A and B are shown apart, each in its own frame.
Chain A
C-alpha cells in the first residue's frame, strides 16, 4: 500500500516587533499543531521569529505567472502614480 501524502503547509514568520508576517517556505505535517511545531524547528533555529503562521498550501489561490503581463503591465505605464512625476520647485522644499 502506498504511503498517503502528508499535507503541505506554507510558513509565515514575523521576524521583528511590528512587522508583518512574511512567507519563508513550506513544510509537510499531518495537522496544524504539528505544522507549527515543525515550522519552529525548521525555520526559527537562529531566533528568526516572534510569531509563526502556518496555512494549508491548498488554501492558497495563486495568480498564474503566465498572466504576468496582463496582471501587472498596466501599472507600469502609469508614471503619474509616483511623486517624482510632479514638478515642485526646490525652493518649496520637501513635500
Chain B
C-alpha cells in the first residue's frame, strides 16, 4: 500500500515502560478513544506511526512523478486540467501527512532526508513506469482505487492527527479514481487500437497493484501489534480481496480482461486470484524495480534544485524581521 510500512511494526517493548501507563493506553485504544500528540504512548507506537505516516507522505510525493510525466502530453485540455488537479492533490496530501507525522516528534526535514538517503521507503507501485496515456487511466482507476480501499479504514485509525488527515485525503481523492475510470471508458469505447492500449496498461498494472496491499497474511509477522493498537483494521489479504471483488465488475463493464487466467468466482461471490509473484515485490522493495533509480534521482534533483528557494525564503524572512526591529527602534 502507500503504507507498506504497516508490515514492519516495531517490536512491542512495553515491558520496559511503565506497565500501568501501558495498560491505561491499551484501555483507551480498546474504548475507541483517539490518541493525541501530547498523550502518553508506548515508544513502539510512536515509532511505528512515524514510519508509517512518513512512508505514506513519501508515497504521495513520489507518486506525483509517474503522473506528472503525462501532464504536458494529456489528450485534451479537459484531461490536462484534471491531471494537474490530481497531481496538485497528491502534493497537498503529502504535506498533510508530513504535518501529522511531525506531531510525533520528528521534523519534516529529518523525514525527507531519510527518504532522500534511501533509508525510508515509499510504496512499491511508484517504481513502475507510465508508458502510455492508458497508464494514466489505469493509475487513477486501480492505484487510486487500491489506495482508497486502504485509506478509508485509516480514517478510524487510533492516532487522531493521522485519522483526521485521512478523512481530508479521502474526501479530496474521491475524484481521482473516477477520472481514471473515465479515461479507461473513453479508450474502451474508442478504436481497436485505443482499446488494445487500455488492455495493455491493465496487463502491466494488475499484479503490481495487487502487491500494493503488502505480503500475504500468512507471512506478515508484525500485523498483530498494529491491529491491537487499531492502527490497522483489516489485514492485507482482506483489503486485497475487497479490492479484487470491487474491481472485477468494473473491468467487465469496460470489456477488459483481468490478466489472470486462473481467476474464478467462488460460491460466495468472491473472485479468487492466482498466486502473486512475491519475488517481484521483494525485488522492487529492494530497489530493483523498473524505475527505483529514476524516482530517487528525480526526488534528489528536485530537492537540490529547490535549495535556493528555501534559502531565499529564509533570507527574506530574516530581512523583514530586521526591518521590524529597526522600525520599532525608531
Interface residues of A (CB under 8 A from B): 14, 17-20, 51, 78, 80-83, 85-89, 91-93, 95
Contact B160 A18 (CB under 8 A): yes
- Could you tell me the distance between the alpha carbons of A68 and B304 in the complex, rounded to whole angstroms? 35
A selection of 22 A-B contacts at a CB cut-off of 8 Å is A17-B32, A17-B33, A17-B34, A20-B164, A78-B81, A78-B85, A81-B175, A83-B174, A85-B175, A86-B182, A88-B178, A88-B182, A88-B185, A89-B185, A89-B253, A91-B253, A92-B250, A92-B253, A93-B249, A95-B145, A95-B177, A95-B250
Q: Report yes or no: A86 in contact with B85, Cβ–Cβ below 8 A.
A: no
Question: Number of A-B pairs whose CB atoms are under 8 Å?
Answer: 56
Per-residue 0/1 for B245-260: is the Cβ within 8 Å of any A Cβ (1 yes, 0 no)? 0000110010000000
Chain B residues at the A interface, C-beta cutoff of 8 Å: 32-34, 36, 78, 81-82, 85, 89, 145, 160, 163-164, 172, 174-175, 177-179, 181-182, 185, 249-250, 253
Contact A18 B249 (CB under 8 A): no
Query: A78-B81, A91-B253, A92-B253 given as contacts; is B178 within 8 A of A86 (CB)?
Result: yes
Provide the residues of chain B in CB contact with A14, threshold 8 Å. 36
The residue among B32, B36, B178, B179 with the most chain A CB atoms within 10 A of its own CB is B178
Q: Indicate which residue in A18, A20, A86, A89 contacts B175 across the interface (CB closer than 8 Å).
A: A86
A85 and B85 alpha carbons, distance in the complex (Å): 13
Contacts of B33 in A (CB 8 A): 17
Residues A87 and B81 in contact in the complex (CB < 8 Å), given A17-B33, A18-B34, A92-B253: no
Q: Are A92 and B164 in contact (CB under 8 A)?
A: no
Give Cα distance in the complex from A70 to B48, angstroms. 42
- Chain A min CB distance to B146 (Å): 13
B268 CB, min distance to chain A CBs, angstroms: 18
Assess whether B181 is in contact with A88, with CB atoms less than 8 Å apart. Answer: yes
Give Cα A83 to B177, complex, Å.
Answer: 9
- Complex Cα distance A66/B34, Å? 39
Contact across chains for A80 and B182 when beta carbons are under 8 A apart:
no
Closest chain A CB from B79 CB (angstroms): 9
Write the chain A residue with the least CB distance to B164.
A20
User: Of all chain B residues, which has the CB nearest A87?
Assistant: B182
A19 to B160: give the CA distance in the assembly, Å: 8
Q: Cβ of A89: which chain B residues have Cβ within 8 Å of it?
A: 185, 253
Q: Which residue of A lies closest to B158 (CB)?
A: A18
Smallest beta-carbon distance B164→chain A, Å: 6
| A14-B36, A78-B81 known, 16 other contacts, Cβ within 8 Å | A17-B33, A17-B34, A19-B164, A20-B164, A80-B78, A80-B85, A83-B178, A85-B82, A86-B178, A88-B178, A88-B181, A92-B249, A92-B253, A93-B249, A95-B177, A95-B250
Residues of B within 8 A of A81 (CB): 85, 89, 172, 175
Instruction: Point out the residues of chain B lying under 8 angstroms from A19, CB to CB.
Output: 164
